[in-house]
Amino acid sequence: MSNNDYPDIRYLFEPRSVAVIGASRDPAKIGYKVVENIVVGGYKGRIYPINPGGGDIMGLPACKSVDSVDGEVDVACVVIPSHKVFSAVEGCARKRVKHVMVITSGFSEVGNGAEEKKIAAFARQSGMRIMGPNMFGLYSSSSSLNATFGPRDVRAGGVAIITQSGALGLAMIGKTSVENIGLSAICSVGNKSDLDEADLLEYLVPHDDTKVILMYIEGVRQGEKFIRALKKATRIKPVVVVKSGRSKRGAAAAASHTGSLAGADNVFDAIMRQCGALRAETVKEAFDWCSFMSNNALPDGQETVIITNGGGIGVMATDASEKYGVPLYDNMVTLKEIFSPVTPEFGSMKNPVDITGQAQSDHYDAALDAALNCEDIHAVVALYCETAVFDAEKLPAMVKNNYERFRNARKPILFSLFGGENTERCVTELSREQVPVYGDVYESVSPLGAMYAYRRHLAHYVEAVDTVALDVNAINAIIAGARNEERYFLLTNEAQEIMKIAHIPIPRTLIARSLNEAVNSSREIEYPVVMKVVSKDIIHKSDAGGVALDLENEKEVIDAYEAIMRSCKAHVPGAHIEGVEITEMVSAGTELIAGAKIDPSFGPIVMVGLGGIYVEVMKDVAFRAYPLNRSEVLSMIEQIRSYPLLLGVRGEKTKDISSLVDIILRLGSIVEQCRGISDIEINPVMVYDQGMGSKAVDVRILLSKDQ
């Protein structure tokens, strides 16, 4: 059944009527709380409390069952015990309810997955969509619907929250209200038996009232679907993500908590970056970002000036700007030109612009005017350290007026105010009015950094998908061969064959069955060459004296051939020796590692990192997921700390990065198109100077076991 057979998900957020199956007259019950919240929240549609006992609930007549409701039901909230849920869902199907929110818990999260699957499968057949089970309900500002058992008062506004933790979500309703962050929607996804985060994004992305989307994630299941939805979403509006389970132990705790597979955090992190989602570390940081971005339009550029009345905090703001990726405007000529009229003698016109401890309200006005009336400056971080000189009474007006003035010009000002009671009160009161004012320098820079990161994503994102045409059948034949032998790894020659099929350059190799052939092959491959014995009977070639490196001429090839034969025969008596393999001696280049694999959360992903023994120790790796294009691979390569090695250090030439991108795209395509492969790793891949290409020196391929 395709998605088109389902009712529009809009009815979930904007239902014309809501039934509460399990509505109760007992205020201690969730069945009461949900009805109360819907009624008190001012929902404009029809409300149908369902209770077998009938009677009145909150002044509304209760129906005995959903079937007996007189009128259509867009959404049914189910709050009855888990063993009764299936039969209620059957009733909903009969009534042709569009969406069922199963608030009830006691399903897969406590090991009762069978019942949950049964319900989801039944709903699917009946053309209904299920939210939950095990969720707290849903709030939607567009229909003034608070169908949750959480706090009664939800502040309406521009932030939509999708949370994987119900407990945290409920508390967020209260916390956002305290922090004056308005919500357009909030819901928990529960056990995701049917609808998941990606589905909810379908509604929220085109939803005008939603300015920013905040997601709290513990683990991702249908990663490929999620990536597609997220990429689409970030084209339209910012998505802020908080994912717990960053640490190893945290990931284990998350897995035991939600049953989600909390994958490697660095993979998750890289994919969020690829999708243009903004990852916040803490809920507090996420709230700050969402609040700021939901209230302020994107500026036209990201040249930022710090204006301060204290040197120390100016320096801290400079540090914070680097940390959060906020570029500081540094055209000294312009800075001097615009700030010299408004900066006192012992101040500084460099950025940070120091208007000194003598600055009063109108000095701030003048400096902010000077900065933001300049075309080349797009935002200001304004710092204030409490002084005796500044008239505290004027502080709130100074902050608010300047903010409002430039807000309409899409030139945000973020304030950091540091001081005693008056200052603190100003922070508290103005942040209640959604003015971006903070008590700490770092806190004031961080939301601007998030906004710029989003802006950069919009500017640099390339929509294309670069797929490589592959002879999939030829690769699958090799995989099938290994599988026939019940092998889940490929032999060197098999792996090399796949590289050839995928047009990934590997060292030239020939097999020689005699001394004469060895000499000819070496000449053909070009000196220097490496010689290795070929024999099924000899596993450890080096130990048997079966390897000779760096052979530079015919004489050395002849000597080596004879030495190898002698030594191997002595070492493994009776071994059948088929000949020797002559390989090009790979010249030194920049050693990287490149790979592609099937990630348990996200499906096919590619990887690049610093090669050799350093990959394990330095963990300097980056990832990207499918769908994938060249530009994303390039940004992955740029992300590794050792990227400067590819640009050339110590006067070395720039390396052939483009050939590396090409190899990675090919690796990814193999894994994406031939799903029998779980893992390809090239370590090392030698990257040579620009124009000289790259070479896959050592390739290891593993097959997936679950096929």
Among 104, 258, 291, 295, binds a copy of itself (CB under 8 A): 258
User: With the C-alpha atoms ordered 613, 614, 619, 623, is the resulting torsion angle positive or negative?
Assistant: negative
Among 24, 108, 141, 164, binds a copy of itself (CB under 8 A): 164
Closest approach of Cβ 261 to a copy of itself, in Å? 14
- Which of these ranges, 6-14, 395-403, 600-608, 610-618, lies near a copy of itself under the rule CB under 8 A? 610-618
306 beta partners: 381
| Exposed / middle / buried, residue 370 (Cβ in 10 Å: 0-12, 13-18, 19+) | buried
Residue nearer to a copy of itself on the CB measure, 168 or 702: 168
Distances, alpha carbon 409 to alpha carbons 296, 301, 372, in Å? 10, 12, 9
Tell me: does residue 481 bind a copy of itself (CB under 8 A): no
Tell me: does residue 178 bind a copy of itself (CB under 8 A): yes
Residue nearer to a copy of itself on the CB measure, 230 or 242: 242
| Mutual angle of helices 630-639 and 265-275, in 10-degree steps | 130
Among 39, 93, 156, 168, binds a copy of itself (CB under 8 A): 168
Applying the rule CB under 8 A, the residues between 366 and 385 that interact with a copy of itself are: 385
| Exposed / middle / buried, residue 574 (Cβ in 10 Å: 0-12, 13-18, 19+) | exposed
Among 442, 461, 488, 527, binds a copy of itself (CB under 8 A): 442
278 beta partners: 240
Residue nearer to a copy of itself on the CB measure, 321 or 629: 321
What CA–CA distance (Å, rounded) separates 353 from 343? 8
What CA–CA distance (Å, rounded) separates 88 from 432? 43
Applying the rule CB under 8 A, the residues between 218 and 237 that interact with a copy of itself are: 218
Applying the rule CB under 8 A, the residues between 380 and 439 that interact with a copy of itself are: 385-388, 418-421, 423-424, 439
Q: Binding residues for a copy of itself, how many (CB under 8 A)?
A: 84
Instruction: Report residue 620 as tokens.
Output: 């300097």
Applying the rule CB under 8 A, the residues between 523 and 562 that interact with a copy of itself are: none
What CA–CA distance (Å, rounded) separates 118 from 108? 11
Among 60, 156, 236, 253, binds a copy of itself (CB under 8 A): 253
- Identify the CA nearest to 198 among candidates 355, 9, 340: 9
Instruction: Report residue 11 as tokens.
Output: 């009815």
Residue nearer to a copy of itself on the CB measure, 208 or 421: 421
Among 150, 263, 396, 684, binds a copy of itself (CB under 8 A): 150
Tell me: does residue 283 bind a copy of itself (CB under 8 A): yes
Tell me: does residue 616 bind a copy of itself (CB under 8 A): yes
What CA–CA distance (Å, rounded) separates 668 from 545? 37
Among 40, 114, 121, 167, binds a copy of itself (CB under 8 A): 167
Closest approach of Cβ 7 to a copy of itself, in Å? 31
How far, rounded to the nearest angstrom, does the alpha carbon of residue 275 sit from its chain's CA centroid? Answer: 6
Quickly list H helices, 433-491: 441-460, 472-484
Tell me: does residue 110 bind a copy of itself (CB under 8 A): yes
Closest approach of Cβ 421 to a copy of itself, in Å? 6
Could you please report the per-residue DSSP string of 670-704? Answer: HHHH-TTEEEEEEEEEEE-BTTS-EEE-SEEEEE-
Applying the rule CB under 8 A, the residues between 315 and 374 that interact with a copy of itself are: 315-316, 318-319, 321-323, 328, 346, 348, 350, 352, 354, 357
